[in-house]
Amino acid sequence: MKLAILSREKNNYSTRRLVEACKARGHEVKVLNTLKFALDLEEGDPDLYYNQKRLSHYDAILPRIGASITYFGTAVVRQFQAMDVYSANTADGILNSRDKLRSFQILSKHNIGLPYTTFVKDKKDIIPAINRIGGAPVVIKLLEGTQGVGVLLAHTMESATSIIELLQSQKQNILVQKFIAESKGRDIRAIVVGDQVIAAMRRVAQGQEFRSNVHRGGKTEQVELSEEYKEVAIKAAKIMGLGIAGVDMLEGKDGPQIMEINSSPGLEGIEGCTKIDVAGAFIDYIAGQVDFPEIDIRQKLSVSKGFGVSEFFIPKESGFVGNSIINSGLQEKDINVLTLHRNGKVIPNPKGERVLEAGDKLFCFGRLETMKELIPLKTRKRRKPKIKKLKAKDINKAKEVETKSE
């Protein structure tokens, strides 16, 4: 395998360990500075140049994209993907995890533990939002912060309001989260590679510090995670679209609470704590994926004209309830059920004999027009746009308002 590691820091611990692990396994590897690329776009022929020379072929890339170059870095990763070069983490996956608000919005659609979080802009919304998450104390986070920078604990409503107003006056976007008191300044960092957690450590804050990050002086200890914690970490990484990730979780009274997902987890702390060859696991995973890569099924299946993928919710009044998939009539309509979501669990490639229940959600591939017909007639009529002619008086009124506002 010929691997490119996209990194601006070729001499830091993580990059050096990845290069060593690659060479030890007989692979060819190069560290390429992400900012030295030029992207050429032409019909049917996306291309990359590095240091003004056309880039040679690579089997895979391992992006180590810093927060300061997210936009350009993910554009480079996307270009490699367009050229059919395997990436351990996709550009969309990196973008999803890098933005704290976006990652929580995506995770909130799934049955996965999260600290109650709120995001506000209007000053009048601050106090009602804090009350909704249970009142002070609350954790205030800058959306762009990393390594514990821009994370504050407000013990009272007054201090929370003052901090939020100050940050907003500086044009900062912030999240406000419920403080998980039972975590007691501790969190879990789990390293997810594909379908498994390969290493985990507990980080413990020191003294009066509530942030457990190693960069903030936190101490680490190896920990053996329960199946519940492993399952949540793996599920969170997959939801984000990441093959390799560091998943940070709080130990809440109701189980694991996702705190953050890192698409470029550092290796020094986790390898030093656990003595596990994490870098080697990254390389082995990438080599395996080069031979049998996972694909973006939505993109691949949506290319055929008139065909695509969609999800259907089965309400209790649906005629599908009580019927097996094979007797539902879906196959006769050229609709194939790819996965069935039931009670927070995903059943891939469900058998035809499986009986459908109220509340099931089906992820299907088929003819789009046929799938639209499965939406109840009332719903279709309600969603159909109503086209009306504008009256002259409405247009004149709008113009008057516009003139006054100018």
pLDDT in tens, 191-212: 999 999 999 999 987 655 555 4
**pLDDT digits over 94-109, tens only?**
999 998 899 999 999 8
**pLDDT digits over 351-391, tens only?**
999 999 999 999 998 888 888 877 766 665 555 566 777 77
Look at the alpha carbons of 88, 91, 96, 97 in this order and tell me if their dihedral is positive or negative: positive
Per the rule left: phi > 0, alpha: psi between -120 and 50, beta: everything else, 190 is beta
Q: What percent of the chain has pLDDT over 70?
A: 87
C-alpha 368/C-alpha 306 separation (Å) is 6
Q: Across all residues in the chain, what is the average pLDDT?
A: 87
C-alpha 353/C-alpha 342 separation (Å) is 16
Neighbour count for residue 34 (Cβ, 10 Å): 20
Q: What percent of the chain has pLDDT over 90?
A: 61
The more confident residue out of 216 and 303 is 303
The band of 285, judged by pLDDT with boundaries at 50, 70 and 90, is: very high
What was the pLDDT predicted at 396? 74
pLDDT at 298 over 90: no
pLDDT at 79 over 70: yes
- Burial class for 199, CB neighbours closer than 10 Å (0-12, 13-18, 19+): buried
pLDDT at 25 over 90: yes
What was the pLDDT predicted at 305? 79
C-alpha 10/C-alpha 179 separation (Å) is 38
User: Which whole number is the average pLDDT over 64-91?
Assistant: 94
What was the pLDDT predicted at 184? 75
